[in-house]
Structure 1
Amino acid sequence: MDLAAGAPFLRVTGPGGEPLPWVVVRAPVVTRAQHVRLHDLADEGCRFVGATSHLGFPGAGFRDERDYGLLCEGWLHCFRDPDRFLPPNGPRVLVSESDFTDPLRVDPRRIHRRPVAHALPAELVADVVHVSGAEPWRQEAKNWPLAARCLRRLAAETGLRVLVVDAPPGAGSLPGVRSSGPLEWPSLLAVIAAARCLFVPAVLDASPRVLAEALCLDVPVVVNRSILGGWQYVNAFTGAFFDGVDDVVPAVLGTIGAAGGPRSWFTAHHGPARAGARVLRLLRSLDPSLPALSHVLLAPDPGPPKRSAPGTR
């Protein structure tokens, strides 16, 4: 599922892509075009549920002036303590967008079958991979200040090969840490599949798709214990938590040395059908008229239909 980053609306569909009269609001509605689209969807008869996919949305400081408790009849959320962030009304279900990551699409066997001509260059092969971002908001969401301190210690004390993908400015000055620019999605998956663990120091991340993708690639994860979303993926089969610079080295070394089984665990608990069945149960509690389905899917909102220019058809 390739959902448009930052777009506030997702359409709910049946398993075959047939549209249903429900829309997911996954981020603040801030631009004029977004406000117009919201009114258009309401005029079409759509109903709305919210999803916690944007930082701490809809908590204080992460939304616009709109009352999302009135707009959204229920919530798909990622929080340990949903009462801290969510409006008090409506049903809730612990489901993240990243739960819809498809293990059939993100499959290490597909990565390893790539032609030799497309093999990774040596500078992109690493033991520990961290995916960051050059833009300031991505640095905040990915917690680059903590990441830099932790990666410096890992490189100095373990001898592991450490790589930052989509590195912020200055990342290249970290001793023993390699960096790259942003990668196309297939190349990013190949880099993660070749690693021994994915390092995720983020706190303000509500739906860390890269975390779910690493598990589908059978790569364990080391995750900040304070992360908003994705904490539910971390267990003895998938990786470990860390709290800060002082315990990151044992967390990474313990994760790399463990037998694990990240892909098997993710496949048994998540994926489109399982996540979609949980969402369907929530929607059916609000709308008993929904057709008989096994599960639902989420798709990017296509926006209003394009109007033909005068004189054309």
Structure 2
Amino acid sequence: MGTPFLRVTSPRGDVLPWVLVRAPVVTRAHHARLAELVREGCRFAGATSYLGFPGEAYRDERDYGLLCEAWLHCFRDPDRFLPPGGPRALVSESDFTDPLRVDPHRVTRTPPPSLVADVVHVSGREPWRQEAKNWPLAERCLRRLSRRTGLRVLVVDAPPGAGPVPGVRLTGPLPWESLLAVLAAARCLFVPAVLDASPRVLAEALCLGVPVVVNRRILGGWQYVNPFTGAFFDGEDDIVEAVTGVLGGRCRTRSWFTAHHGPPRAGARVLRLLRTLDPSLPDLTHVLLTPDPGGAHAPRGTR
């Protein structure tokens, strides 16, 4: 994830006096940076981009309810994870995915035949990423999907020691441009995650016109799933039905995402939330979020 802090800026890049805290502040460098931001007079809001942060099992000992005056969250049941009180808005970092940048017409790379698949799952090698991406369920579902449908299945950034799964191809991590090319060539993105708070790959697939099949229990990203974009599944018993139903339908993923999300729309929602606490904010249409250059090496989050 990089830094646990995001600076709120104007569309032109002017830094505003608000900082979003999107992950636990756990390193010495981050504690020092937080103290520096406080001395600069910054105000803080929280953003739920790291697993179940700021839920009790996903944070350090800091009282984030005292630090953060408001919350941008991804949860269906925010009271389960967020401190009580203060304004809230259903806004995820992945809502800022830019359809002008993630555009199928701008994907110039052609993936090799070995990376072209009907169903793509993006996993991870590190233990935290395997937990976030729910590899055990992914493996069971993909095994059943391959056996019963004969669809071409690809796992990107497969966990070490994974497989072999009959009919499922495994590959390592890919550069972002190559991953977009693989997604653009796919017919469906499979997302079995539960502990994923802001799955950018899900938003990127929608921008590329690729429908999604998503675990119904996912923490964040559930708001992207509807008849225009894909379907939910509950487990290995209904994964085949969910995927074949999506492949047989006519989704309008890119037009739906563009109509509801992207930087101007997400940034306008953030600005409205912050204005409830800070009427002195300048007259803007929306704000943007930029990783704080003063803090590196934060706890890793999710993709």
Whether these two folds match at TM > 0.5 is yes
- Per the alignment, residue 224 of structure 2 pairs with 233
Deviation of 1:170 after TM superposition, in Å, equals 2.9
CA RMSD of aligned residues (A): 0.8
Q: Which of 245, 255, 258 lines up with 1:267 in the alignment?
A: 258
Tell me, in whole angstroms, the C-alpha distance in 2 between the residues paired with 1:86 and 1:119. 43
- Per the alignment, residue 61 of structure 1 pairs with 57
Tell me, in whole angstroms, the C-alpha distance in 1 between the residues paired with 2:163 and 2:183. 19
Tell me, in whole angstroms, the C-alpha distance in 2 between the residues paired with 1:252 and 1:66. 42
TM-score (norm. length: structure 2): 0.96
Deviation of 1:270 after TM superposition, in Å, equals 0.2
Amino acid at match of 1:247: D
Query: What aligned pairs does 1:144-183 form with structure 2 within 5 A after superposition?
Result: 144-183=135-174
| Count of equivalent residues | 295
- Per the alignment, residue 309 of structure 1 pairs with none
Amino acid at match of 1:16: R
SS in 1 for 2:238: helix
Amino acid at match of 2:218: I
2:279 corresponds to 1:288: yes
Between 168-177 and 63-72, the greater mean CA deviation after superposition: 168-177
Tell me, in whole angstroms, the C-alpha distance in 1 between the residues paired with 2:268 and 2:156. 34
Tell me, in whole angstroms, the C-alpha distance in 1 between the residues paired with 2:17 and 2:96. 20
Tell me, in whole angstroms, the C-alpha distance in 2 between the residues paired with 1:7 and 1:20. 18
- Per the alignment, residue 25 of structure 2 pairs with 29
Q: Which of 227, 236, 243 lines up with 1:252 in the alignment?
A: 243
Between 65-74 and 162-171, the greater mean CA deviation after superposition: 162-171
Contact 1:92 1:282 in 2 (8 A): yes
Deviations 1:173-203 (A, max 9, x none): 1111001100000000000000000000000
- Per the alignment, residue 223 of structure 1 pairs with 214
- Per the alignment, residue 95 of structure 2 pairs with 99
SS in 1 for 2:169: strand
Contact 1:220 1:239 in 2 (8 A): yes
Tell me, in whole angstroms, the C-alpha distance in 2 between the residues paired with 1:169 and 1:154. 21
* Moved beyond 2 Å, runs of 4+: none
SS in 2 for 1:188: helix
Deviation of 1:6 after TM superposition, in Å, equals 4.1
Deviations 1:190-222 (A, max 9, x none): 000000000000000000000000000000000
SS in 2 for 1:87: coil
SS in 2 for 1:173: coil
Q: Which of 249, 269, 284 lines up with 1:278 in the alignment?
A: 269
TM-score (norm. length: structure 1): 0.93
- Per the alignment, residue 75 of structure 1 pairs with 71
Gapped regions of structure 1 (runs ≥ 5): 305-313
Tell me, in whole angstroms, the C-alpha distance in 1 between the residues paired with 2:162 and 2:207. 28
SS in 2 for 1:141: helix
Amino acid at match of 1:29: V
Query: What aligned pairs does 1:39-54 form with structure 2 within 5 A after superposition?
Result: 39-54=35-50
Deviation of 1:31 after TM superposition, in Å, equals 0.5
With CA pairs under 8 Å and 6+ residues apart, which has the higher RCO, 1 or 2? Answer: 2
Amino acid at match of 1:302: P
Quick one: percent identity of the two aligned structures?
Answer: 79
Deviation of 1:242 after TM superposition, in Å, equals 0.1
Contact 1:220 1:238 in 2 (8 A): yes
2:134 corresponds to 1:136: no
Tell me, in whole angstroms, the C-alpha distance in 1 between the residues paired with 2:74 and 2:2. 17
- Per the alignment, residue 214 of structure 1 pairs with 205
Tell me, in whole angstroms, the C-alpha distance in 1 between the residues paired with 2:36 and 2:45. 16
Contact 1:172 1:178 in 2 (8 A): no
